[in-house]
A and B are shown apart, each in its own frame.
Chain A
């Protein structure tokens, strides 16, 4: 199967801060306040094929979580079209929309704040499939047991509350809850960032097993390149709301093209790098309220030219299946 699971076509997401009444009055008497707009996601095209694992990487504030939420249907897109299995989600019938909402599930970073502390694990996992009629009321216990076993939890804990579990177990509950509605596509937003190293490995292995057993598709959002390299087939690098490079995992890690990708890869601490000198990229990610002109990366880029300050580089195919947005590729 090589069908497209989800397709984003020029999707943007803007968050606007509307003027309140005092500010409007201030403007009436000659003030000059403007509405603040954050371009969290700026005209992103992305395709995720059936059964594929796509890694989405970027620094905090680059819009990767917002993009994940748009894909999962939590935020509507401001512009552009989101297609799920070829259908525009904005033009879906209610029944199709429900199917989409069930098929795409999200796993969050902080398992404590994403689980209702007042529900027992049985209800956390069993509520949604019961409500949506996937199972009957007398099957809930068996179904919850099955889900808990699948993610490596002891079913005898099903009457416990989330706070009685450790961080790694809570993350497993979150995964079981997502799996309970039989999704085809999981959006994992920094799903392992809050876990200890040995627990991270357990959860990474769980994701791999689930992929094999259930044929799941993943959008794996992370700032940890090591983890993304391990899990993904393809990697998307984002910077300040825009996609700067897309490539197969192996090619990307062997020959990164965009200067930002190169810098990012250089920063990854690895066990095999001993006593090295750290050569950091300068500066910090700029505020998305006031992004730099032209190429967003130019103030930090070692190769920045005049052209980069004025003209936004387009995403161009530089090799089959690889796209990158950098003016340097035009000279090559």
Chain B
């Protein structure tokens, strides 16, 4: 394994859903790359295609959806064309996913130990005892007290935060190179969210795992990620180092998102809201999908803008009229 090769490189990924009402271009030309040990925030509103991007990487897009083009290079291997058998080997062992609702992803009629031992034995030829010990260690790692006893519990006996920890522990069982986390803390209280973020951050730093954190919440990503991709209507509209993007957002949509978050110094003042709402995937505006809501739009925006050359380090934007520093 060469250290120079990124853990994951996604090139021009397109995932479309062929529905009766027409073709929904849920992901329409997404590219990014993640190095070893890097944390990337994938930010967007509902319907922006961020979850479908995650599902495409791990090969969980069901018909009528289909990855129609693009490459997903995981340590040099293209997952978009990999066989289903190969995906089975990788999924859960090298690439793992954490979902939003742990109640839906854990089997309610099986004890935690059954589910975890099964997950260990699915990929490694080990006996039950070793598998049990690995499960216990994994639960301990994510901060579950007395893991040996808790392994004997059923999912409904855990609280929401604890359940999410269990699903994180399951994702960690095989020390994957890449974890895709799809809004894992959205359903949790702030104090529990803080605990989960703390564990995840620690594990990434210690084990050199790469992490894609899918969320709609910019403020969570701000504290956690190294870099960020902002998605709108199936395309990445802005990407770059976290501080470059949040301190000097260039795309009008990114600026709008940041302005929408209440912060310390704007108390009581009206928030800078983005007018209108996200377009339906079935009737996407032509050209730049953001132009009907954009304050800077003009005739040129009827065409699709290309991704710009990097401004700062890897800071790119997909807009004809980006906000450039100095002129705002």
Contact = CB atoms under 8 A, between A and B. Distances in A.
Contacts of B274: 198, 201-202
B203 interface: no
A271 B190 contact: no
A263 interface: yes
B216 A225 contact: no
Given A196-B278, A204-B271, A230 B258 contact: no
Interface residues of B, number: 46
A282 B192 CA distance: 9
13 contacts: A197-B45, A198-B257, A201-B271, A208-B268, A230-B267, A263-B191, A268-B219, A271-B219, A271-B258, A273-B219, A275-B223, A277-B198, A277-B201
Interface string B290-322: 000000000000000000000000000000000
A31 to B, nearest CB: 24
B266 interface: yes
B277 A285 contact: no
A280 B195 contact: yes
Interface in B253-277: 256-264, 266-268, 270-275, 277
A60 B190 CA distance: 10
Contacts of A273: 219, 222-223
A91 to B, nearest CB: 38
B243 A274 contact: yes
Given A196-B45, A226-B262, A249-B267, A267 B222 contact: no
B199 to A, nearest CB: 9
B205 to A, nearest CB: 10
A205 B201 contact: no
A269 B270 contact: no
A270 interface: yes
Given A197-B218, A201-B272, A201-B274, A230 B197 contact: no
Closest 5 CB pairs of A and B: A201-B260, A230-B262, A278-B198, A280-B195, A269-B219
Nearest to B278: A196
B155 to A, nearest CB: 16
Contacts of B264: 229, 253, 270, 272
Contacts of B283: none
A278 B194 contact: yes
Contacts, number: 140
A39 B277 CA distance: 41
Contacts of B271: 201, 204-205, 230
Question: Which of B194, B198, B258 is most buried by chain A, counting CB atoms within 10 A of its CB?
Answer: B194
A224 B262 CA distance: 10
A74 to B, nearest CB: 24
B318 to A, nearest CB: 18
Contact of A198 (B260, B266, B267): B260
A200 interface: yes
A276 interface: yes
Interface string B141-177: 0000000000000000001011000000000000000
A229 B256 CA distance: 20
B186 to A, nearest CB: 10
B277 A168 contact: yes
B194 A267 contact: yes
B115 interface: no
B119 interface: no
Question: Which of A59, A60, A225, A275 is most buried by chain B, counting CB atoms within 10 A of its CB?
Answer: A275
A280 B191 contact: yes
Contacts of B45: 196-199
Nearest to B160: A60
Interface string B64-99: 000000000000000000000000000000000000
B190 A59 contact: yes
Given A196-B278, A272-B263, A205 B190 contact: no
Given A270-B263, A274-B242, A276-B223, A208 B270 contact: yes
B118 interface: no
Contact of B270 (A169, A205, A253): A205
